[in-house]
Structure 1
Amino acid sequence: MNLRDHVAAHPLLRRHFRFLTVTDLVPEEFRESQVESLYNIDTGWANLLKAWRFDEFALDPSRATLAIGLTGMDGDTIKNKYLMDKYDIQINKTSRNTVLFMTNIGTTRSTIAYLLGVLVKIAGDVDERVADMSTPERRIHDKRVRSLTLELPPLPNFSCFHQAFRGRSLDGRTETRDGDVRSAFFLGYEDGNCEYLTMEETAQAIKNGRECVSAQFVIPYPPGFPILVPGQVISAEILQFMQALDVREIHGFRPDLGFRIYTEAALEQAGQANAVWKAQINSTAAQVESE
């Protein structure tokens, strides 16, 4: 906890950085213990044991998530421009407004001291840069800070799989929300089964009532988790999230081409094949029951 405590107590560091706590990362409904911090100066690690025993989700105290939005820089910039390229510090992952540090049995006090010194230098650089800004530049900086701290893009819920790739229960009779990603993935191997729609064209198609179905994984980085998988219907909420993103890499999406989606003819053909399979399953189940 030495690292977290020093950042919280340092007047310069706490203006720009903050380590996220249990309350930031785990919603209250999943914290039966009502623990807000894993470590307490009076009781030590007693809260950690309580959280791990009773809560549905518990944090690993060896992983420290640092919020960096107040610097006006995103996680990828902090990681590459400063931590890795300038100070040779390797980190676990980044998000739009955080970086994740991992400690282990080999982490020493000097390691922590070095990291704290680097954070002080970064915070000092930010202060110097802001002090030299003109009024218009300061407005841009403040807008960037608001974007990284308050105006976060709404994370969309999973939409659904298209009917052609909808899963079934083990007996084949009940439709589930699961999807047959394998069939959807390999259907996209044939170029004739796919087409490209730009983000604007996709939004218009959805508005007109068409189900646009992703033919590949779409993965913004950071943080590197898919917001679309093969066979998933593209929703208006997913489009809003994509439009709000300001990350450098989105695997599976090119702004000049747009989304790779299945043609309506390919979806109809896949749906017919799925219907035949369902009929065969139901027929087999009926025969078993009659016997």
Structure 2
Amino acid sequence: MTGRRRAVLIAGPTASGKSALALAMAQGQSGVIINADSMQVYDTLRVVTARPGPEEVALADHRLYGSVPAASRFSTGQWLSAVGEVISQTGDAPLIFVGGTGLYFDALLNGFADIPEVPAEIAAQVQQEIQALDARQRLALLQREDPLAAARLKVVDPQRLVRALAVKRATGRLLSSFQDDKQAGALAGFDIERMVLDPDRDVLRKRIALRFAAMFVGGAVEEVQALRALDLDPGLPVTKAIGVREIGDWLDGVIAQDEAITLATIATHQYAKRQRTWFRNRFGEWPRRGLA
């Protein structure tokens, strides 16, 4: 025994059983489960984002789930700050971080740049300006505006481009310059156990298909209706959750229910593939486990 406070980090692709494993660990250790998924932080979409349900939450202390209004933009820096508050509030209880957002784990262990919050109107303006750009054009634009940030990214998706350009406009500094001024990680002095759940690909595909079909009849449709009723800016992160567009198209009569389920399942498969690639490239030394 080291006498140090314990932290368990459970990463992995969607539908790999991370939440079930975290719950089992928390019950066995009287631990606190902390969300490390960038979509599960938002309210309104519990079913769509596969947040733990009331039954699971009743069995262990869960933090940072559904705690952010859907109308907000919640950055990695804000998540790390919220983690700091949880650490200070939970005494010596073991902490179990669980989720599929690699940047959260990276920030947790290695620190994160203290980037000022960008006004929503600036981000919205940039979003509008770049919405017609394809992948090649996005990369070229970022190379002109912030060559170092462009060199660090394998894929310049719209959200990352908006972030880089909005930070530059709001602060006069390059995003890459902030990233070079990282702060310390939040788990200094902890006894840390790391793991990546890495199930067989075919098994994961079947789990994804079954899960989204169950979501569709288990409350996901009502959640998307509630989200649409908020009349949010379509550029907000929560509107990008897998299933929102597909269910919305079905509600509008654009596609059939079966097609909506199929398209959302395909999008989830693609997302899981990106997650696995990220964890393999960045957390290659972490121990691997099969399905939980």
Q: Answer yes or no: same fold by TM over 0.5.
A: no
TM-score range (shorter-chain normalised) is: under 0.3
Higher helix share: 2
Using CA pairs under 8 Å that are at least 6 residues apart, name the structure with larger relative contact order, 1 or 2. 2
- Which of structures 1 and 2 has the bigger CA Rg? 1
TM-score by length of 1: 0.24
TM-score by length of 2: 0.24
